Structure 1
Amino acid sequence: MLVKTFSSAVYGINATTVTVETLVCPGIHYHIVGLPDSAIKESLHRIESAITASGYRMPRQKIVVNLAPAAIRKEGSGYDLSIALGILAASGQIQETLLKGYIMLGELSLDGEVQPIKGALPVTLQAKQDGFRGVILPSANAREAAAVQDMEVLAANNLQEAIYFFNKKQKLERVRIDIGDEFMHHINNYDVDFSDVKGQENIKRALEIAAAGGHNVILIGPPGAGKTMLAKRLPTILPPLHLDESLETTKIHSVAGQLHALSSLMTVRPFRAPHHTTSDVALVGGGSSPQPGEVSLAHNGVLFLDELPEFKRSVLEVMRQPLESRNITISRAKFSVDYPASFMLIAAMNPCPCGYYNHPEKECICGSPAVHRYLSKISGPLLDRIDLHVEVTPVEFNKLSAAKNTEKSEVIRGRVIQARNVQTKRFADSPDIHNNAQMNTRVVRQVCLISSSGKQLLQAAMDRLGLSARAYDRILKVSRTIADMEGSEQIENQHLAEAIHFRSLDREDWTG
């Protein structure tokens, strides 16, 4: 008897419906075809044990399982549940009337328990698009899948529960979540706040500008000046995630298997801080079965690289392309996978090996050549892609010990949201541009108009600092953001001057 059940294959952050055709007929042996990997080929032993443990029998006949379409490779153990139910239906042990309405995914333990899978959210989104009634998933993935509205998301703890459901003996638990409630509950779910930071008003100003325009930042200063503390608080002043952003971000973390069992949608912007020993594959993604890297896991959020010069140069250089294109393509011989990578980069570094170059009190022992070699670990093309270069100085004791209350993240976020709203209106007809940092050269020339005196100011800065064409565009983008924050339609000279000020590493006293 031939029976069709349905499962799904995940490629990148998208899914493809897979038809699992199961035939039980006279003969011997178990055959599985349709480009399965080793995990799928080994499924017979898990499935046989799970069926027996659930009180049913494994047919002692020829079993042929075809995973269609056969042209795409299937990977992982998530097909176990669908294959097991197909075998039981083909051998007449369960009814097949409901099978065609559901996508089924889950790895089976030897005792019949259904284990979690990766990619439940993209699978459910594709199931809805393909017109399925619902999905049957492990309980650990149910809240994640339930983020897709108007879909029947059923949680199965073990194979027997799924069998009883199709035999109409018992209903499976339907999981529902209120997306609005999820967002409102977690919108300010941060353990840190800008009010914790004493002093450093100029650094807070720089980070507010960065958040308002989506700009990349590098913080340069001695040990203990507060660079890491400030960087960790940047997500608290970014605008809340929109539903579309949340879905896309959750899909990436779902595919990477990094969602908690109690999670549904990601409601706060991700903050990723890989160690400086990380590899280039870990940073941008890859592997034999390509997985998203840190730049994709930071999508719609912040990627923080502490001790930037300690990263291997090859690791830093692979970021140059995603910083510009805001996506990463991982190519293999027979296929390629695209992952989005639209993130804010915030980097932190000491100014020299000892950490005290340009320190107001402590003396640097490195010497100019050592400082130059240290700074040259970061290539010019990478620095050009960072809009704000901010010098961080140590906080004086009287500011650290002062009882004065400082602005909370919530207040700063309000101003950031106002500036982002201006940009949203400006780029309403440009679907690929959402903030000032994402403007291409053509849009910069249209939007960032400056006066003749402003051109003279910028020309003087270009000549003195030796800025590149890319740095010129970056200064204009930051100037536009500062103007938006002040509600100005025109870019004034003071906006340009402040943007030029935030190019510390282009100044002569930082070159050694």
Structure 2
Amino acid sequence: MLSIINSCNLSGIDGFIVNVEVDITRGMPCFNIVGLASTEVKEAKERVKSAIINSEFDFPTKRIVVNLSPADIKKEGSLLDLPMSIGLLRNYITRDIDYFRKTVFVGELSLDGTLKKIRGVLPIVLSAKEKGYKRIFIPYGNLLEASYVDGIEVIPVKNLRQCIGYINGKIDLNLGQIFSDIDKNTKEEEYEEDFSDVKGNYFVKRGLEIAAGGNHNTILIGPPGTGKTMMARRVRTILPDLDKEEKIEISKIYSIAGLIDNNIGIVNKRPFRSPHHSATTTSLIGGGVKSTPGEIVLAHRGILFLDELSEFNRKTLEMLRQPIEDGFINLSRLKYYIKYPCKTLIIAAMNPCPCGYFMSDTPCKCSAYEVIRYKNKISGPLLDRFDLFLPVDSIEHGEFSEDNFNESSASIKKRVQNAKDMQKNRFKDSDIKSNDEIKSSQINKYCKLDRESEQIAKKIFDKYKLSNRSYTKLLKTARTIADLESSEDINKNHILEAFSYRKGYYKYFK
């Protein structure tokens, strides 16, 4: 007897359909799994056998061969347990073959037949929907996460016996009531931090507003204790709320990483990842045996904060160059490769020297060699991928005590949202979401300059010997400044202000 049950496996953040072909024939009793299965998939034999017996079904004592098609793609994880069991118990099921052609099964089995929660349900359900399947059976523990996908019937089951009973029409799961009881509160959470807490440093705050408005990578440079980390952590409070597409996109990544909040079921706020400077290349970029996503991928559509930038391993930092430029990471393996998106806003903070007080009011204790060696930890090609260089200086005592103007995050966020709305309308016919994604070939179209602005930009280019990348980043920054002022045209003031945010580069790195 041959049964074909549809299931799904993961490749990166996307799912692909796996046909679980179960063949039960006469012969010496055995249970073999073929089709490029990983160790955890092959171990399913013992889980499936015990789950079937403990669910009070008869396990076939015949020759069993399970083929996982397509056979040239590696299958990993434990989510193929349920479809294998369904194939082995086909004699207990009264549904015709058409029902199974339109159905997908995923789930890990305990020895008592209970279905355990699995990783990656969201991309799996989305993949099944895109392939045109009508329904998918998942573990009950993944219900909240899967409920955010429309257009496919999601059937949560608690154990193998309940699954068979529902297929045969003997058990009513009351799905309508289950889904009506789900609280889909996807509103973005409120933050405890606020930019109104930050005293002084108006130039830096304006620079961070521009960074948020156009997704421009930024370095904060200054002595210790001046508020670099404090301000960097508040940038997320001025980023626009996530739309539904972005929530699903980020949640797919967090789903395969096993980081979805069980009480929410979806990522409803922009990620903020802050890895320690001792982070390895694998933890920052991704990879390993199972090609798991790294910190830069987990920060997709959010912020990757690299505190103490110059303390990171230089080789690790150099690995960021290609992902920053391309917006994605390719992890190549022997027979396949995985592509992860990583369009993130990178904010870095660093001291100007080992003691931290180079070019500040406090005397520096470092030798000239130590200062140069410290700065050289950050290579020129990596620095060239940052748009804004913001010097952060100590503030005067009066700025603490005076009742000066400290704008709130909510007020700044309105301007950022307005700039993002302009960009959304401008790029509606392309796959671009923010100004930093404008390609070189599109600069003349989206960053058009008038004659006066062109002359100023030319003078800056010639005098400071800007690289092609630095010059296009200057124009993109000017485009964002114009958007924050609700201006369709870039004028000379926008160019000059955009260049002023490179003064930290010439102060500390030239």
TM over 0.5: same fold? yes
Query: Which secondary structure state, in structure 1, belongs to the residue aligned with residue 349 of structure 2?
Result: strand
8 Å contact kept, 2:418–2:486: no
Does residue 82 (structure 1) correspond to residue 80 (structure 2)? The answer is no
Query: In structure 2, what residue type is equivalent to 1:141?
Result: N
1:9 aligned partner: 9
**1:386 aligned partner:** 386
1:213 maps to a residue whose letter is G
- 2:202 and 2:180 mapped to 1: Cα distance? 41
Amino acid at match of 1:318: M
Name the counterpart of 1:45. 46
Per the alignment, residue 489 of structure 1 pairs with 488
Q: Distance in 1 between matches of 2:158 and 2:182?
A: 24
Q: Which amino acid aligns with 1:393?
A: D
Displacement after TM superposition at 1:382 (Å) = 0.9
Three-state SS of the structure 1 residue aligned to 2:310 is helix
Give the letter aligned to residue 333 of structure 1. L
* 1:351-430 map, 5 Å: 351-360=352-361, 362-402=362-402, 406-429=406-429
The secondary structure found in structure 2 opposite 1:192 is coil
| Deviation, structure 1 residue 198 | 2.7
In structure 2, the residue matched to 1:472 is 471
Name the SS of the counterpart of 1:176 in structure 2: helix
Distance 1:177 1:195, change over 3 A: farther
* Contiguous gaps of at least 5 residues in structure 2: none
> What's the secondary structure of 1:136's corresponding residue?
strand
Shift of 1:43: 0.9
Q: Is the 8 A contact 1:11 1:337 kept in 2?
A: yes
Partner of 1:18: 18
Q: How does 1:209-248 map to 2 (within 5 A)?
A: 209-248=210-249
CA contact (8 A) 1:313 1:377 kept: yes
Structure 1, 408-417 or 285-294: larger mean CA deviation: 285-294
The residue type equivalent to 2:486 in the other structure is G
- d(CA) in 2 for partners of 1:367, 1:212: 39
Distance (whole Å) between structure 1 residues aligned to residue 379 and residue 299 of structure 2: 22
Query: 1:179 & 1:157 partners in 2: Cα distance?
Result: 17
Q: One-letter code of the match for 1:491?
A: I
Q: Distance in 1 between matches of 2:139 and 2:274?
A: 30
8 Å contact from structure 2 (residues 260, 266) kept in 1? no
SS in 1 for 2:89: helix
Post-superposition offset of 1:40: 1.3
Question: Amino acid of the residue matched to residue 385 of structure 1?
Answer: R
- Pick closer, same or farther for the CA change 1:288–1:421 going to 2, 3 Å: same
Deviation of the 1:212 alpha carbon: 0.9
Contact 1:276 1:311 in 2 (8 A): yes
Q: 1:404 to 1:155 in 2, by over 3 A?
A: farther
- Measured after TM superposition, the shift of residue 68 of structure 1 is 1.6
Q: Once superposed, which parts of structure 1, at least 4 consecutive aligned residues long, lie more than 6 Å away?
A: 177-180
| Higher alpha-carbon deviation: 305-314 or 496-505 | 496-505
User: 1:87-102 counterparts in 2 under 5 A?
Assistant: 87-89=88-90, 92-97=91-96, 98-102=99-103
Question: Residue deviations 1:349-401, cap 9 Å, x none?
Answer: 111111111223x2111133222211111111111110000011223344334
Question: TM-score, with normalisation over the residues of structure 1?
Answer: 0.93
State the match for 2:497 in structure 1.
Answer: 498
CA contact (8 A) 1:222 1:393 kept: yes
Cα distance in structure 1, aligned partners of 2:16 and 2:173: 25
How far the C-alpha of 1:245 sits from its partner, in A, is 1.7
Q: How many residues align?
A: 505
Q: What stretches of structure 1 of length at least 5 have no aligned partner?
A: none
Give the fraction of aligned pairs with identical amino acids, expressed as a percent. Answer: 43
One-letter code aligned to 1:214: N
Match for residue 347 of structure 1?
A: 348
1:400, 1:188 → 2: CA distance? 29
Q: CA shift at 1:447, angstroms?
A: 3.0
TM-score with structure 2 setting the length: 0.93
Q: Which amino acid aligns with 2:485?
A: E
| C-alpha distance after superposition, 1:45-70 (max 9, x if no partner) | 11122122222222222222121222
Tell me, yes or no, if the aligned pair for 2:189 and 2:268 is still in contact at 8 Å: no
> CA distance change for structure 1 residues 172 and 277 in 2, over 3 Å: closer, same or farther?
farther
Letter paired with 1:15: G
What is the alpha-carbon distance in structure 2 between the residues aligned to residue 343 and residue 79 of structure 1?
33
Alpha-carbon distance change, 173 to 75 in structure 1, aligned in 2, over 3 angstroms: farther
In the alignment, the residues of structure 1 paired with residue 276 and residue 141 of structure 2 have an alpha-carbon distance, to the nearest angstrom, of 29
- Given that 1:213 and 1:478 are in contact with CA atoms closer than 8 Å, whether structure 2 keeps it comes out as yes
Partner of residue 160, structure 2: 159
Q: Residue 106 of structure 1 contacts residue 114 of structure 1 at CA under 8 Å; is this kept in 2?
A: yes
Deviations 1:58-106 (A, max 9, x none): 22222221212222221111101111122122xx234344544421111
Q: Which amino acid aligns with 1:408?
A: S
Change (3 A) 1:412 1:222: same
Conservation of the 8 A alpha-carbon contact between 2:261 and 2:267: no
8 Å Cα contact 1:137/1:153 also seen in 2: yes
Secondary structure of the corresponding residue to residue 182 of structure 1: coil
Over the residues paired in the alignment, what is the CA RMSD in angstroms? Answer: 2.2
State the partner residue of 1:59. Answer: 60
